[in-house]
Amino acid sequence: DTEVTQTPKHLVMGMTNKKSLKCEQHMGHRAMYWYKQKAKKPPELMFVYSYEKLSINESVPSRFSPECPNSSLLNLHLHALQPEDSALYLCASSQDQARRYEQYFGPGTRLTVT
């Protein structure tokens, strides 16, 4: 199984809502990543978890809160988002952070903030 799954595929939320994005992989990977991708732009790294611990936060606003409950799951909790946060949110995983270049991406969650 070389698949990274993400739910939901699409999400529309208001600026006062609280929602969560979920990511799952069963490849035994110990590094997991959240990226944000705006239309026609490359993915931008947000967070990196290595062995279930947050190792990188790319100065992401606190309205985005990541969580790694176990080695297979990665969540991104959303609260009080702004319309400019609308984007495709991609999850990725790799064997470990030392092999971070071999990242497997999920299909993404397309988020619209109204």
Partner 1 sequence: GESVGLHLPTLSVQEGDNSIINCAYSNSASDYFIWYKQESGKGPQFIIDIRSNMDKRQGQRVTVLLNKTVKHLSLQIAATQPGDSAVYFCAERGPGFQKLVFGTGTRLLVSP
List the interface residues with partner 1, window 23-62 (CB under 8 A): 40-45, 48, 55-56, 58
Nearer to partner 1, 66 or 108 (CB): 108
Nearer to partner 1, 55 or 114 (CB): 55
Nearer to partner 1, 55 or 82 (CB): 55
Q: What is the DSSP letter of 82?
A: -
Return the number of other C-beta atoms located less than 10 Å from residue 32's C-beta.
27
- Kind of pairing between the strands at 31-37 and 73-79: unpaired
Residues 60, 105: Cα–Cα separation, whole Å = 20
Of 114, 92, 88, 113, whose CA–CA distance to 103 is shortest? 92
Residues 112, 11: Cα–Cα separation, whole Å = 6
* 59 in Cβ contact with 51 (< 8 Å): no
List the interface residues with partner 1, window 86-105 (CB under 8 A): 90, 92, 97, 100-105
* 22 is an interface residue for partner 1 by CB under 8 A: no
State which of residues 25, 49, 78, 106 lies at the interface with partner 1 (CB under 8 A): 106
To partner 1, the closest distance from the beta carbon of 7 in angstroms equals 14
Using CB under 8 A, list all residues that contact partner 1. 4, 40-45, 48, 55-56, 58, 90, 92, 97, 100-108
